[in-house]
Amino acid sequence: MVSRYDSLSRAELAVLVPELLLCGHLIDRSGMAHTIAAFGREGMTAVAIEEWQLASPVYTRRMRQALNISGDGVDTVFKGMQLEIGAPPQFMDFRYTVIDHDHGEFRLDHCGALADVEPMGEEYVVAMCHHIEDPTFDATALATNPHIQVRPIHRPPRVPADRHPVCAWTVTIDPANTPPEPPRNAEIVAKSRAAQVELAPIERDGPGLHDYSGPLLSDIRFEDFSRGALVRIAEEVCLQQHLLTLGFRVALAERGDADTALDIARKQFTGIAGLTAERLRAALDLGDDAAALAKVLRLHPAWNPMAYVDIEVSVESVAGAQTVELRLRRDCDAVVDGSWPALIAPDHLAPIDAMARAVDPRFHTTLREVDERSLCVEIALAPEPFREAPEVAITRFSTGANFTFADRGTPLPLTVL
């Protein structure tokens, strides 16, 4: 087995992938609350811009290569957007129009991010929909064509307050457009092990689409992909989350002392770790015992893909009670990069507790052993349930916490008008 997702059926993978995309998007709901507390609204805005600018070009190129998405036109840009954590399906309801190779538009019929931010006031809406979106939309598109520009037709603050679509944008390719200079820290993420890790090629057998080389579709329906393609997509989406985390840590280091940056990164990890585990458990209809916890841990994006994060998860029986052991190799690529697994330490096990308590609130993590090569923890049931971690409660503020995906039927190809 070269992937932990090999244990899942095609149908299970089709359910898992949109969950991974949504949870990747919610990383910021976990991290930005603590960033605001440390650096204020303007500091949060600067961190958000930098993390997405550093991560999105890298993961866009990776997904294009993995799914044989060729070309350099607006339709290629839109395909990439459909498969990234910045635009999880339905929660960020992008609708695309292709005019020709060099011209297109998109609108958002629903924006979960806006639903989260509007209650915070107009200043936060402007920060997200103006200051953050302008450079980050361009950063994603520039990974496909260096002469592309994404510009607003209209965007929030909404006038009237219930205006739909909530925003609309043009996408234009013009050789006269001068590409912007890459961000100063771009190479830190671009040269990370997450950016360079090689994953197994898609097994091109069995039913379903093995890539996305065909026409741009109005929606991605993941059950139309083959099992092999879904395994690779799931692993790439996990890497997107790690790359965004690396960008987040770089941006934090630019603005705060080392202790503050590390504390915020750990709080971000704890919050999204718990909410992601909760959604994975519900999506796959798992129970609340040790076997269910072991499965959630093996599938959690913090510990994937296998080629990047080296862990072992096992279920043990001791005196009639079942416990879960998780062993993390401390020399694996994710730890070397400084991504989520690097934030685990003997006195910092809160993210694992958050994952475990999403399965049963009585689970508790204790250290078994640690040395230079590995860290091993045991997760067992305590007599009484624990209160939810405040970091998870903060992340639950997002409307994405309880978001439900709908069956939209057969997607249609989007052809040139």
Question: What is the domain partition of the chain in residue ranges?
Answer: 4-255, 258-397
Q: How confident is the model at residue 271 (pLDDT cuts 50, 70, 90)?
A: very high
* pLDDT of 417 over the 70 cut: no
* pLDDT of 156 over the 80 cut: yes
Q: Are 377 and 325 in contact (CB under 8 A)?
A: yes
pLDDT in tens, 54-112: 999 999 999 999 999 999 999 999 999 999 999 999 999 999 999 999 999 999 999 99
Cα-based torsion angle of the residue sequence 349, 350, 356, 361 in order, rounded to the nearest 10 degrees: 130
Q: What are phi and psi of 168, to 5 degrees?
A: -150, 145
Q: How confident is the model at residue 319 (pLDDT cuts 50, 70, 90)?
A: confident
Q: How confident is the model at residue 1 (pLDDT cuts 50, 70, 90)?
A: low
* pLDDT of 257 over the 80 cut: yes
Q: Which residues contact 236 (CB under 8 A, 6 or more apart)?
A: 59, 62, 63, 66, 83, 199
| pLDDT of 321 | 87
Question: How many C-beta atoms lie closer than 10 Å to residue 190's C-beta?
Answer: 18
Burial 217-248, CB ≥16 within 10 A → b, else e? bebbbbeebbbbbbbbbbbbbbbbbbbbbbbb
* pLDDT of 290 over the 90 cut: yes
The rounded distance, in Å, linking the Cα atoms of 131 and 379 is: 43
- Please name which of 25, 16, 15 lies closest in space to residue 398, comparing C-alpha atoms: 25
